[in-house]
Structure 1
């Protein structure tokens, strides 16, 4: 199922929680990938917020767990605020910093919290006959910074989220396209099937540089135009 936790509140509404973490990516001697703290937080926030919004929830706050250093808190917050800005959100940020001990590798966690009306959850709403596509390329590690032109912009994510022609959106994480495709089918009560796509099906999607969509086949031309070269069709094999 989707990487979002739902907890019942009142009046048919539910608390929705999504999270992402990052380790060994940053500016410390032991990090495997070098990246500014602001950039690392941006991509972690991007994942958590995309997961939250994609299920139909309204975001309310962001929680930051900073295991980098006290003096990186502001930079990390700037990264989160950048992601929020690109998603047209203004959210409070709270959290905690490990200030008792220093680390040789960077690490952080970002949690996005919001609410959703139970009947408006955007899960399992893809009808028979829908088509599928991946928006953006799955990238991980240094490739994320080296190929920004293939990272699906959050502005495009927002546009497709609002499109009546798009049924579901699923951020693609470290388990890859095929895994998310199988999860989407299962959520809609369908048997898992093989699929074909111009992109590698089992490569890590890293910090959700791409996402899967199900959509109305009548709108394919408009969606292709909207996404441009970031549109990669995904076909179910018979």
Structure 2
């Protein structure tokens, strides 16, 4: 249920941990998708931090596992800082680099760690009468770079995260819209409900280029206006 690990931390508080991994995307000879490493870090940090923030947690630190090269460290940090800047947060960055052996393909791990008060967790809080939508299109690989107009901006994610009309937000990962819909449904005690959407339900969402929301039906007009053509309704079977 959701890609976030919760651990007891203090009275009424929990640690929240989210992670993302990337491989064969970067600037090495064996990479399948060629892209600067700061862009790789930007999108990996995007996934981990969206996961963390979407459950109501406050991000505290980002941890990098750099399997690319020691001389890429600053570029990786630059990508993470760009993600943080677009999310309106400022975080310390730590991590480790594989510097003993060279690799022919890029690989990167990003872990985001935060804290969340029990009463602020945004899991399983969608009421029965809620409506649903996907914001952005699920994209993966080179399509992420060639179709930036369909990638949900982090500024929009932050805005909807703060909206009292939005109940839950779920970043869409490599398992696609339907998988995340099933996770959201299960968290709210409604397992096995089918859905329909103008977007492909089983296509990889790559680096969370889109996200699923549950929302107050009275706010649909305002949400559609704000998201524009990035708003795709998702219809749940009752």
**Structure 2 equivalent of residue 154 of structure 1:** 154
Q: Distance in 2 between matches of 1:83 and 1:74?
A: 14
Q: Note the 1:133-172 alignment, pairs <5 A.
A: 133-172=133-172
C-alpha displacement of 1:9: 1.0
**Structure 1 equivalent of residue 235 of structure 2:** 235
**Structure 2 equivalent of residue 12 of structure 1:** 12
**Structure 2 equivalent of residue 90 of structure 1:** 90
**Structure 2 equivalent of residue 200 of structure 1:** 200
**Structure 2 equivalent of residue 39 of structure 1:** 39
Secondary structure class of the residue paired with 2:11: coil
**Structure 2 equivalent of residue 110 of structure 1:** 110
Alignment RMSD (CA, Å)? 0.6
C-alpha displacement of 1:150: 0.2
**Structure 1 equivalent of residue 217 of structure 2:** 217
Per-residue CA deviations over 1:39-87 (Å, capped at 9, x if unaligned) read 0000000000000000000000000000000110000000000000000
Q: Distance in 1 between matches of 2:46 and 2:21?
A: 11
TM-score, normalised by the number of residues in structure 1: 0.99
C-alpha displacement of 1:103: 0.2
Secondary structure class of the residue paired with 2:10: coil
Consecutive aligned runs of 4 or more in structure 1 exceeding 3 Å deviation: none
C-alpha displacement of 1:151: 0.2
Q: Distance in 1 between matches of 2:187 and 2:45?
A: 25
Q: Distance in 2 between matches of 1:227 and 1:136?
A: 9
TM-score, normalised by the number of residues in structure 2: 0.99
Q: Distance in 1 between matches of 2:163 and 2:16?
A: 22
Q: How many pairs does the alignment contain?
A: 238
Secondary structure class of the residue paired with 1:9: strand
Q: Distance in 1 between matches of 2:138 and 2:8?
A: 34
Q: Distance in 2 between matches of 1:39 and 1:10?
A: 36
Per-residue CA deviations over 1:15-52 (Å, capped at 9, x if unaligned) read 00000000000011100110100000000000000000
Structure 1 stretches of 5 or more lacking a match? Answer: none
